[in-house]
Each structure stands twice: as structure tokens, then as C-alpha cells.
Amino acid sequence: MWVLLGVLVVVVGFAARQNPLSIVVVAALVTGVAAVIAPGVTPAVLLAGAGETLAVLGKGFKDNRYISVTWMILPLIGLLEREGLQERARVLIQKLAGLTSGLLLLIYLIIRQVTAAFGLTSLGGHAQMVRPLIAPMAEAAAETQAPGLTDASRNRVKAFAAATDNIGLFFGEDIFMAIASILLIKGFLETNGIIVTPFALSVWAIPTAIAALLIHGTRLLLLDRALNREAAR
Amino acid sequence: MIGLPVLYVLAGLLFAVFAIGSATDRTNPKRWGNAVFWGLFAVSFLAGTWLSDTVNGLLLVAMALAAGFNLLGKGQPAPQTDRAERAQRWGNRLFVPALIPPAVTLAGTFLLKGVEIGGQPLVDPKQVTLVSLGLGIVLATVAALVMFRASPAVAVREGRRLMDQVGWAGLLPQALAALGAVFVAAKVGDVIGLLAGEYLPLNGPLTAVCAYTIGMAVFTAIMGNAFAAFPVMTAAIALPLIIGQYGGDPAIVCAIGMLSGFCGTLMTPMAANFNIVPAVLLDLPDRNGVIRVQIPTALALLATNTVLMYALAFRF
């Protein structure tokens, strides 16, 4: 039961707006020390627990380096921005008269969902797609819709661009049979003596995918209405 | 065989160059903090495989201390005023280097999989996608350097400008994955599963379905990852009750259960690479700005998932 102290550190730490990286390290050490708490525990045992936890944390950190490899894209994105990629993305959108911010993001949502459903999850992402292309495009469209856009609305449009990328990815990828989550479900059920095909799992991801499109799509169109209302004011 | 080690060397060298660039960047009042931070990251990438687990842990602790004591700053490069003109000169050709990485990732994932040289696979079969992405990034960067007639130093400087903006948040997804490993070792999930099974009111299929979908979302929000929550919650609630006792279809229950977890991912700062990193990349004043926008969609979808599971699982 004591190991839940680590979870508590995470919740309190984020709520108190401490630095997330520090929260992670403190939560890990608290969890590891709490795990060795038992009747009659001595400080030496707790210290040994902290040492072991540091090793587990270090191994986890080392084994997951592949997550940070994607930052290798930054020099490319930086170069492209220097040559005006974001500006070009804006011009392109302003040429397409009538393309609103919400509509643009709705189209992106559909593309992201459909490509993810075919396993093409790498066609998107925040560093590669949203920052250099999608967010500036959505922003430019919003500026055309509501000249003199407030900063609050501008940030909301940018946040929607990122959210749309996430939602399209999450609720598209599970329709692809060979995606990690489907294989995890299949493997888990197999160890519990239940055989399901990846196809059956991916088919039942479709209703939720449609619901995600309807719900988030509606919110994107409502975003357009809010922008138009701002323009009228 | 080309696998993760090659990527780690490339990334490690890049972080090392960022560290050196930071150390010499006089426009950054905290340049030594940045230099140490990215230097340690470079060490982890270049030497981590050969260092002991404890030393790797200490590297992370040192970086967390640097972030916690606010020792990282940003360079203040001279503002660039000719972007619009440059954009006009290049036109839509600018999109070509931007689209090379996804295109190469895609092609590489399919084409490199079966390639063998002397009976040995050319690329580690488990890492084809990541290796293809790395290859795509390298090719695109070279193409951009040639196209813009820019020196690699410019690319590194521009890359560091963005890395400074991301700052410690760039490390967060990897650090959270390490925390996940600690949670697994300490059996945090088992404890939560036990509590859920013991204290949630589970009398009847409807309450069991609600407990499972909401439990998946909440537990995923805590762990930052639906993959960690799924085995625990499914073993605690779905297998014994929804599937075992009430006869729900396992494929429907598990597929929608996992997607309920994804709703939790949308609502938590623990899923840093989806929620915190974009807020930093897009320069949002509120670190939780993306999460705030996602919550209504996530809650509506969670309710939808619950209804779908209840309506479908006992019918097919």
C-alpha cells in the first residue's frame, strides 16, 4: 500500500506546479523506498531500497533513450523555419479563401485518423508536422477569420492544432492490426487462455474512431463559430 | 546490423554539439547550465550502454536537479527579419525537405524489413521504423543543407535554438518511461488493481463496465500510458467480471477498454510527449494548454466508450 506514496508525489507535484523532471525523480525514489517498508524496517534497509531504485530508474532511463532520438529532427526544422517554412504555410492557407481554422483542422483530423488506421502513424507529430505546418496554417486561417485575433484565441487555436494531432492518432491507430496496443491486448488475452484475432480487435476500434471524429469534429466547427463571433465583436 | 546503437551515437553527437554551442553562447545568461544539461544527455547517449545502471540513474538525477533549480536558460539570437522574403523565394519547394522524413520512414519500414546482407539482416527487424525515421531525418537535413547552401553550423545553431525552447521538457517523456519502470518494479499497478477490485461497487454488468472504462482512464492518467494500465485493470475487473461472470465478448471489451485508456492519456501531464512537449513547442503560455483543450473531447469519448461497451459486449 505504501508504494502509492509515489503516485501521491506525482499528483501533488503536478498540482503544485513543481518542475516535472524533479517530480519524476522524487516520485521514483519515494516509490522504491516505500516498497521496502515492512514491520521492523531499519534505515539501512530503506537506504538500500533507495540505491536499488536509483539503479532501476537508471536502467529504465537508458532503455528508453529511443524516445528522445526524435529530437534529431530539430536542426532540419530549424533550417526550414529560417528559410520561411511557417510563413509559406501561412501564405498557402491565405490563398485558399474560405478555408477556416476549424475546417482545416477537421481535414487534418480525418487525414491523421485514416493514415494512422493504415499504420502510417509517423505521418504527423508535434515537432515534424504541428509546429512547422499545421499550427501556423490554423493560425493564419484564424487571423483571416477574425482580424485582430486576441492572444487567448490564438493560443487556443494552436492548442487545438496539437490536440487534433493527438486525437487523430489515438483513435485511428487501433484500427491497424499490427499496432503495439492491439498486439498487447492479443498477447495478454492469450496468456489468460482467450484467443482473439487482431482483426476482431481492430474492427471493434472502429465505432470509437467514428465517435472521435464526430465529437472532435463538432468541437472544431464550434471553434470556427467562436472565431467568427470574435470577428463580429 | 543497423539498430538503435547507431541512432544513439548520432543523437549523442548532436547533443554534445548542442552542449558545446551552449557553452559558447554569450546571449544565454545561463549558458553553463544548458551546457552541463545537454552534455550529461550526450554522455547518456554515447556511453549509457556501458555505464552501470546506478550511474545512468545519477545522470538523470543530475539533469533533474539542473531543471529543478532552474539552471537552464535560452539563447537570444538576433531576430531574423527576412523570413517572408526567403519564403517567397523558395515557394512550395520549402515543403520538400519537410516531407522527406515521413516519406522515408514509410518507405523504409516496408522496404528495409527483409533486406539481408550475407545472411544477416541489414536493419534490426525490431527497430525498422525508428532506423528509417533516423535515415529520413539525416537525408532530409542533408538535402536542406544542399538546397539552402547552408553550412552544417547553421543547422546546428537553428537546432539548438529550438532545443533551448524545448529545454528540460525534451527529457520528460524518457524520464517518465523510466518512472514507469520503477512503478512496475514496485508493483504499483497490482496494488491499484487490488484496490479497484476490492472497493469499487461491482454488482451487475453496467457498474462493472463503468468501473472498467473509468478505471482505465484514471489509471492511465496516473501512469501516463494506457499500456501500463491495461493488464492491471483488465485482470482486476474485465476478465473476472465483465467477461467471466457476465459473458462479455473479450475482443469488444478489451478493444474499447484500451481506447478508454487513451481518453485518460489526453487528460494527463504524465503523457508528456503528447501533452506537454507540444505546449512548449508551440510557445503556449500555459503548460497545460493542450490538455485543457483535450478534456471535453476526452470526457465525451469516455462516456461514448462506456455506452458502446455496454451496448455491444453482451450482444455479440
Domain residue limits, chain B: 4-170, 179-313
Residues of A in contact with B60 (CB under 8 A): 25, 57-58, 61
**pLDDT (0 to 100) of residue B310:** 96
**Contact, B91 vs B58, CB < 8 A?**
no
The verdict on a CB contact (< 8 Å) between A201 and B169 is no
Residue A120 makes CB contacts below 8 A (sequence gap 6+) with B106
Q: How far is CA A108 from CA A103, A105, A215, B251, in A?
A: 9, 5, 15, 29
Which pLDDT band holds residue B1 (cuts at 50, 70, 90)?
A: confident
Which pLDDT band holds residue A80 (cuts at 50, 70, 90)?
A: very high
Buried b / exposed e across A182-203, counting CB within 10 Å, b at 16+?
bebbbebbeeeeeebebebbbe
Q: What is the ipTM of this complex?
A: 0.89
Low-confidence winner among A22-26, A86-90, A106-110 (lowest mean pLDDT)? A86-90
CA angle B97, B103, B109 (to 5 degrees): 140
pLDDT higher than threshold 90 for residue A14: no
Domain range list for chain A: 4-63, 71-232
Helix (H) or strand (E) holding A78: helix A74-82
Give B263 to chain A, closest Cα distance, Å.
9
Q: For an interface test with B, which of A22, A29, A61 has the most B Cβ atoms less than 10 Å from its Cβ? A: A61
Question: What is the C-alpha separation between B28 and B73, in angstroms, rounded?
Answer: 6
Nearest Cα to Cα of residue B212 among B194, B233, B197: B233
Instruction: Convert the pLDDT of each residue in B116-158 to its tens digit.
Output: 888 888 888 888 888 988 999 999 999 999 999 999 999 999 9
Give A103 to chain B, closest Cα distance, Å.
17
Measured between CB atoms, does A84 come within 8 Å of chain B?
A: yes
pTM (2 d.p.): 0.87
pLDDT higher than threshold 90 for residue B56: yes
Residue B6 makes CB contacts below 8 A (sequence gap 6+) with B131, B134
pLDDT higher than threshold 90 for residue B214: yes
Which pLDDT band holds residue B18 (cuts at 50, 70, 90)?
A: very high
Which pLDDT band holds residue B201 (cuts at 50, 70, 90)?
A: confident
Q: Pick A53 or B196 by higher pLDDT.
A: A53
**pLDDT (0 to 100) of residue A191:** 86
**Contact, A68 vs A42, CB < 8 A?**
no
| Cell representation of residue B262 | 487513451
**pLDDT (0 to 100) of residue B164:** 92
Measured between CB atoms, does B143 come within 8 Å of chain A?
A: no
Chain-wide mean pLDDT for chain A?
91
What mean pLDDT comes out for the span B211-227?
90
